[in-house]
C-alpha cells in the first residue's frame, strides 16, 4: 500500500520524480479527463509498487497509442490525485521494452522521451483537433514556426534541438510559476500573453536569473513579443479561421444575393482589413495596382508645385497591409468582375492567382520602391525579396452577374485560378440560412389593394417560363433580391413595372415566342402606369397562373380544415 506522504511543503526535497507507466488495459484510462482538471485514479496495479509523491510526473501510455502527462497532486493509499496537463494521441506506437508496468526515468531519459513523442506526433496539425490543442502540438508548431523565421539563429534551425530546448523551458517555467507555458488559454489569449510578458520582464524573479544565466537571456528572447507571443496570436487566428487563401467568384442570376454573400464575410471587419472595388470598361491596371500621378506639394521654399509620386490603389494597399499583419485575414473584394478587361486590369498579378504555385512576379520599379518603403526599407521582406507573392492571409472575393454579357471575355487560364461558387435562387426556406431570407416576406401591392407574394411570382416566372426555355436558361432568371420593397415589405406598382417588367421584356422575352407577354404586346402597353399598369400586370399574372395572396390564404384555410377533419375521422375510427 502506498503511504500518504502529507503536505507539499514537507516533500519539497523528494518531489518531481519521473515515471513511465504502461496501462495494460486496452481502454484509454485517462482520456475521459480533460486537460487541466484534477482527477483520481488507483495505483494498485503498479508493478513494482513504488512510493509516488506529490509533484511526481507520470507519462502514462495505453494502447492504441495514447500518451498522457500526469502531475500528481495528492496521495492517499492506492488512490492518487493528478492533473493531466498534456495528451498526445495518434494511431502510432512507441517501443516499451520494460517488463514492468512502471519504470522510473532519469531526467535525461524523460527529456529524450518527450522529444521522441513530440517528433512522432509532430505531424498533427492545429486543424486536426481545433477544440483541444495539446501542449505537444503547440511546442511542435512553435518549433517549426521559429525555425522558419527569417534570419533565425536559434538552435541552428535544428527541429530536434528546438523541441528539446522548448521542453526544458516548459519545465523551468512551470517550476517557477506553477503554470505550463504551452498549455495555452486561447479563450483568454490576451491575458495569457500579458501574464507571460509580465513574468519574463520581472527582474526580481527566479526566471529572470535563469534566463540571464542561459545564453544571455535566450529563454526570455524566445518567449517575447517577437517570437512566442507573436506565434500564439497567429496560431489562434489560424485555428479560428480556415486559413486556406482563396480566390472565389460568386456568380448567379441577377438578384440572388452575391454581394450579400460577400458582405456576410466582411461585415464585422474593421475597414482596414478589406478593400472593395468595382470593375468597369474604363478600369485599368493603374486603377487597380497604382501608378504615378500628379500631386500638389511644397518645394524647399514652401511654394506649391506639381510633382509626381506613386499613388497606391486597392491591390497594392491590401497587399502591403496583409504582409505586415499575418495574424489577421485580409480581403480584396471585386464587384462585377466580368464588366472589366481582367487581362489588362490584373496584368502581371494574374500569375499570382495560382495559389498552389511558388512562382513570384517581378514588380514594376515604381511598385517595388513603394513596397520597400512600406516594408521599412527591408529588401529581405518576404513580400518583395524574390518578387511579388500573395500572402497566405489575403483572400480575393469577386461577384459576377451571369445574365450580363461580358464586355471582355475571361480566358480559361484566368478562370481556372478561381473557385466558383454558384448562388442559388431560394424558393423554399428549409435551411437555417434560407429562413433568414427576407425576400420570403416581400409582397407586390397593386393600387386596388390586391397583393401577390413576391416569392410566388419569381417561382412561376423562373420555373415555368425561363428555365425551361432552351435559349434562356438559369442566367436570365430573377433572383430573390432583384428588387427591394419601397415601403416596408411592399413592392409598389411603379418600381415593379419599371424594373421587373422592363427586365423581362427587354432582356429576357423581347425576341422570344412566349406566353408571358401577348404575341402582339410590348413593354409600352403598361403605360401610362396609373391607368394601364394595374390591368396589364394582372393580365400577366393570370397568364403565368399567379394567384393573389387572398386565394392562397383561402386554400391554406381549406387545407387546414381538411386536415383537422381527417384527423378527427381517424380518431373516431
CATH code of residue 320: 3.40.50
pLDDT at res. 521:
72
The cell numbers describing 109, all together, are 531519459
Contacts 24+ apart (CB under 8 A), 124-130: 124/90, 126/235, 126/238, 126/239, 127/239, 130/239, 130/240
Instruction: Kindly report, residue by residue over 227-264, the tens digit of the pLDDT.
Output: 898 888 878 766 665 567 889 999 998 999 899 889 98
Reduce the DSSP state of residue 141 to 3 states and report it: helix
- Both 459 and 413 in a single domain? no
Task: Express each pLDDT in 349-365 by its tens digit.
Answer: 999 998 877 788 999 99
Q: Which residue has the higher pLDDT, 290 or 120?
A: 290
**Are residues 412 and 480 part of one domain?**
no
Model confidence pLDDT, tens digit, residues 366-381: 999 999 999 888 888 8
Rounded to whole angstroms, the Cα distance separating 573 from 569 reads: 6
The overall average pLDDT reported for the chain is 79
The single-letter DSSP state of residue 253 is S
Are 162 and 146 within 8 A, CB to CB? yes
Residue, of 308 and 23, whose pLDDT is higher: 308
Partners of residue 296 on adjacent β-strands: 306
Distance CA 228, CA 403 (A): 51
Closest CA to 466 of 523, 424, 518, 507: 507
Q: Is the pLDDT of residue 434 over 70?
A: no
Q: What is the largest CA-CA distance in the chain?
A: 104
Residue 397's pLDDT is 96
Q: Do 492 and 343 fall into the same domain?
A: no
Does residue 412 contact residue 459 with C-beta atoms inside 8 Å?
no
Number of domains in the chain: 4
* Nearest Cα to Cα of residue 459 among 493, 434, 425, 422: 425
Lowest mean pLDDT among 97-101, 317-321, 518-522: 97-101
> Residue 428's pLDDT is what?
78
Residues 255/483, Cβ–Cβ less than 8 Å: yes
Query: Three cell numbers at 484?
Result: 427591394
In the numeric block, which cell numbers belong to residue 238? Answer: 489560424
Say whether pLDDT at 218 is over 90: no
Residue 60, pLDDT above cutoff 70:
yes
SS3 525: helix
Statement: residue 510 has pLDDT above 70: yes
Residue 87 predicted with pLDDT over 60: no
Cis bond upstream, residue 528 (ω within 30): yes
Nearest C-alpha neighbor of 338 from the set 231, 248, 410? 410
> Based on the domain organization, do 320 and 391 belong to the same domain?
yes
Could you tell me the residue range of the domain that residue 80 belongs to? 9-105
Co-location of 277 and 412 in the same domain: yes
Residue 201 resides in a domain: yes
Co-location of 32 and 101 in the same domain: yes
Q: Which of 343, 362, 339 is nearest to 285 (CA)?
A: 343
Q: Which residues pair with 21 in a beta bridge?
A: 60, 102
Strands (DSSP E) along 257-329, which ranges? 274-278, 290-298, 304-312
Together in a domain, 201 and 148: yes
All cell numbers assigned to 555: 386554400
How much of the chain, in percent, has pLDDT values that exceed 90? 28
Q: How far apart are CA 78 and CA 41, in angstroms?
A: 8
Handedness of CA 267, 270, 273, 278 (dihedral sign): positive
Of 184 and 519, the structure prediction assigns the larger pLDDT to 184
**Is 411 contained in some domain?**
yes
Instruction: Report residue 304's pLDDT band, with 50, 70 and 90 as the boundaries.
Output: confident
Question: How far, in Å, CA of 61 to CA of 28, rounded?
Answer: 8
Same-domain pairing of 253 and 379: yes
Q: Who wins on pLDDT, 171 or 303?
A: 171
According to DSSP, the residues that pair with 305 across neighbouring strands are: 297
- Residue of higher predicted confidence among 526 and 51: 526
Phi, then psi, of 372 in degrees rounded to 5: -60, -40
pLDDT category, 558, cuts 50, 70, 90? low
What are 397-433's pLDDT values in tens digits?
Answer: 999 987 665 567 788 889 989 999 999 898 877 654 5
Q: Is the per-residue pLDDT at 48 higher than 80?
A: no
Query: Does the pLDDT value for residue 507 go beyond 70?
Result: yes
Residue 326 has what pLDDT?
75
What is the predicted pLDDT for the residue at 82?
82
CA distance 399 to 402: 10
Same domain for 260 and 192? no
The confidence band for 546, taking pLDDT boundaries of 50, 70 and 90, is very high
Residue 76 pLDDT > 90: no
Amino acid at each position: 500500500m502506498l503511504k500518504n506522504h502529507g503536505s507539499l511543503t514537507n516533500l519539497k526535497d523528494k518531489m518531481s520524480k519521473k515515471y513511465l507507466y504502461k496501462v495494460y488495459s486496452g481502454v484509454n484510462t485517462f482520456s475521459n479527463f480533460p486537460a487541466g482538471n484534477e482527477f483520481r485514479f488507483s495505483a494498485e496495479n503498479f508493478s513494482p509498487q513504488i512510493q509516488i509523491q506529490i509533484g511526481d510526473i507520470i507519462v502514462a501510455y495505453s494502447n492504441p497509442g495514447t500518451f498522457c502527462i500526469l502531475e500528481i497532486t495528492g496521495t492517499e493509499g492506492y488512490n492518487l490525485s493528478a492533473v493531466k496537463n498534456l495528451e498526445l494521441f495518434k494511431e502510432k506506437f512507441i517501443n516499451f521494452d520494460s517488463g514492468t508496468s512502471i519504470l522510473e526515468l532519469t531526467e535525461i531519459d524523460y527529456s529524450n522521451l518527450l522529444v521522441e513523442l513530440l517528433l512522432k506526433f509532430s505531424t498533427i496539425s492545429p486543424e486536426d483537433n481545433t477544440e483541444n490543442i495539446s501542449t505537444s502540438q503547440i511546442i511542435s508548431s512553435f518549433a517549426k514556426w521559429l525555425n522558419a523565421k527569417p534570419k533565425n539563429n536559434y538552435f541552428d534551425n535544428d527541429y530536434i534541438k528546438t523541441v528539446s530546448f522548448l521542453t526544458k523551458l516548459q519545465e523551468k517555467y512551470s517550476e517557477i510559476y506553477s503554470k505550463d507555458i504551452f498549455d495555452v488559454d486561447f479563450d483568454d489569449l490576451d491575458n495569457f500573453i500579458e501574464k507571460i510578458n509580465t513574468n519574463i520582464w520581472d527582474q526580481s524573479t527566479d526566471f529572470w536569473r535563469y534566463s540571464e544565466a542561459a545564453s544571455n537571456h535566450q529563454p526570455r528572447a524566445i518567449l517575447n513579443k517577437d517570437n512566442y507571443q507573436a506565434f500564439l496570436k497567429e496560431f489562434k487566428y489560424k485555428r479560428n479561421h480556415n486559413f486556406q487563401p482563396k480566390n472565389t467568384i460568386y456568380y448567379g442570376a441577377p438578384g440572388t444575393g452575391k454581394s450579400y454573400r460577400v458582405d456576410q464575410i466582411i461585415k464585422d471587419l474593421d475597414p482596414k482589413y478589406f478593400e472593395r472595388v468595382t470593375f468597369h470598361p474604363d478600369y485599368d491596371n493603374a486603377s487597380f495596382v497604382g501608378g504615378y500621378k500628379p500631386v500638389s506639394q511644397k518645394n524647399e521654399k514652401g511654394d506649391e508645385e506639381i510633382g509626381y509620386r506613386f499613388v497606391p490603389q486597392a491591390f497594392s494597399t491590401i497587399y502591403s497591409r496583409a504582409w505586415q499583419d499575418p495574424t489577421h485575414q485580409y480581403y480584396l473584394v471585386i464587384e462585377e468582375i466580368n464588366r472589366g478587361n481582367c487581362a489588362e486590369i490584373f496584368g502581371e498579378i494574374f500569375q499570382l492567382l495560382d495559389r498552389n504555385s511558388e512562382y513570384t512576379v517581378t514588380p514594376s520599379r515604381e511598385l517595388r520602391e513603394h513596397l520597400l518603403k512600406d516594408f521599412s526599407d527591408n529588401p529581405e521582406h518576404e513580400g518583395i525579396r524574390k518578387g511579388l507573392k500573395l500572402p497566405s492571409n489575403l483572400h480575393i472575393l469577386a461577384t459576377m452577374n451571369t445574365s450580363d454579357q461580358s464586355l471582355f471575355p475571361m480566358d480559361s487560364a484566368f478562370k481556372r485560378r478561381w473557385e466558383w461558387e454558384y448562388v442559388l435562387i431560394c424558393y423554399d426556406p428549409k435551411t437555417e440560412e434560407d429562413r433568414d431570407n427576407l425576400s420570403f416576406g416581400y409582397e407586390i401591392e397593386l393600387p386596388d389593394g390586391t397583393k401577390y407574394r413576391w416569392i410566388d411570382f419569381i417561382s412561376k416566372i423562373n420555373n415555368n417560363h425561363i428555365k425551361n426555355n432552351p435559349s434562356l436558361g438559369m442566367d436570365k432568371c430573377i433572383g430573390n433580391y432583384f428588387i427591394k420593397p419601397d415601403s416596408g415589405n411592399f413592392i409598389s406598382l411603379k418600381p415593379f413595372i419599371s424594373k421587373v417588367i422592363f427586365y423581362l421584356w427587354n432582356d429576357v422575352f423581347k425576341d422570344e415566342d412566349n406566353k408571358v407577354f401577348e404575341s402582339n404586346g410590348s413593354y409600352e402597353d403598361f403605360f401610362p402606369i396609373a391607368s394601364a399598369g394595374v390591368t396589364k400586370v394582372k393580365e400577366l399574372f393570370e397568364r403565368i397562373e399567379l394567384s393573389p395572396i387572398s386565394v392562397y390564404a383561402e386554400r391554406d384555410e381549406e387545407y387546414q380544415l381538411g386536415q383537422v377533419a381527417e384527423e378527427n375521422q381517424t380518431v373516431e375510427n
